[in-house]
Amino acid sequence: MTETYSPSQTVEMSGFSLDTLRYYEKIGLIEPVRRAAGGHRRYSDDDLGWLDMLRCLRGTGMPIARMQSFAELARAGDETVAQRLALLEEHDAAVEAEMERLIEQRDKIREKIVYYRSYLDREPVVCEAR
Amino acid sequence: MTETYSPSQTVEMSGFSLDTLRYYEKIGLIEPVRRAAGGHRRYSDDDLGWLDMLRCLRGTGMPIARMQSFAELARAGDETVAQRLALLEEHDAAVEAEMERLIEQRDKIREKIVYYRSYLDREPVVCEAR
DNA sequence: GTTTGACCTGGAGCGCGCTCCAGCATTCAG
DNA sequence: CTGAATGCTGGAGCGCGCTCCAGGTCAAAC
């Protein structure tokens, strides 16, 4: 049988806030979620899987607008696999570039750290009065 | 002799926009820049060096507010070196953590890419009509 | 039956980090 | 001397990605 999850469970499992889950649904990042009798959402395992994908894309800096394109392609069915692949490959390259930039700048900061350390070694502690 | 640079040269060399340079000065991220006779800014090599530092901090995701603390410590002189060191070390750790997150999520995206590729291999091309 | 808490909707609001603009002054090439 | 380019200030505006709120409905415990 297929599991379903309440909004609060989904918050817990997905790491998105309740508001963000509703927002993502509203803007079409996730398909309209199944509802229980009274109108309350019931997320499926599929929904959870999709949310996990979204988390990876957002977490690696993909803008919402691009994620919407991706979601639209996914909704369109199997003929769009090639386009989705292209989109992900392009994003992967962007992430790679971003990481290289990050490493470069981190290294510069580390140089600065080393410099500060050496400074403190030279001038160990300044006692306030002689 | 000490070189100085016009705003437009500084834009070129620092990678910050003119507006951002003025904004950073206004909020105290950089000390008041020397002015030529007519009031136009003349950036020094020191300014350029500091801007490079700022670029590294911003580029690795340090929030403006934290950079302001750092700038304030720097202005306060040599007694704050230890505090600046601590701030940079903490930031370095944050960057490291961020990069690990990035790698994890990138790997998941790559798995998806592999999956899409294998899908396309199985079902090579769908000719529109039979 | 009532209370408590989870959930609903539509829309307004917000924090961040710039970016743009009007209106004016300065500089420089020709 | 004139015109174009560059620069100045103060303050408004903006794009992104949520986040919050009011005013209700629904569900489950007592």
pLDDT tens digit sequence for A46-98? 999 999 999 999 999 999 999 999 999 999 999 999 999 999 999 999 999 99
pLDDT value of residue B121: 86
Q: Report the residue from A55, A88, A105 with minimal CB separation from B113.
A: A88
Fold (topology level) of B4-122: Multidrug-efflux Transporter Regulator; Chain: A; Domain 2 (1.10.1660)
The model's pLDDT over B62-116, given as tens digits with 9 standing for 90+, comes to 999 999 999 999 999 999 999 999 999 999 999 999 999 999 999 999 999 999 9
Considering all nucleic acid strands, name the nucleotide whose C1' atom is nearest to the C-alpha of residue B29: C17
Instruction: Show Cβ contacts of residue B66 under 8 Å, excluding neighbours closer than 6 positions.
Output: B57, B87, B91
The model's pLDDT over A104-128, given as tens digits with 9 standing for 90+, comes to 999 999 999 999 999 998 866 655 5
Considering all nucleic acid strands, name the nucleotide whose C1' atom is nearest to the C-alpha of residue A64: D17
Chain B residue with CA closest to A58: the answer is B105
Chain B touched by A121 (CB under 8 Å): no
Beta bridge partners of residue B4, listed in sequence order: B44
- Block residue for tokens 């009798």: A37
CA of residue A75 to C1' of nucleotide D26, angstroms: 31
Task: Check if the beta carbon of residue B116 is closer than 8 Å to that of residue B81.
Answer: no
Nearest-CA distance A57 → chain B (Å)? 8
Question: Is residue B50 within a helix (H) or strand (E), and if so which, with residue range?
Answer: helix B45-59
Please give the Cα distance from B34 to A87 (Å, whole number).
47
CB contact under 8 A, B56 and A85: no
CB pairs under 8 A between A and B: 91
Chain A touched by B116 (CB under 8 Å): yes
**CA distances, A65 to each of A62, A72, A88, A89, A93 (Å):** 8, 11, 14, 17, 18
Question: Closest CA to C18 C1' — which residue?
Answer: B20
Beta strands B4-5 and A4-5 are unpaired
**A32 beta carbon to strand C: under 7 Å:** no
Beta carbons within 10 angstroms of residue A52's beta carbon: 14
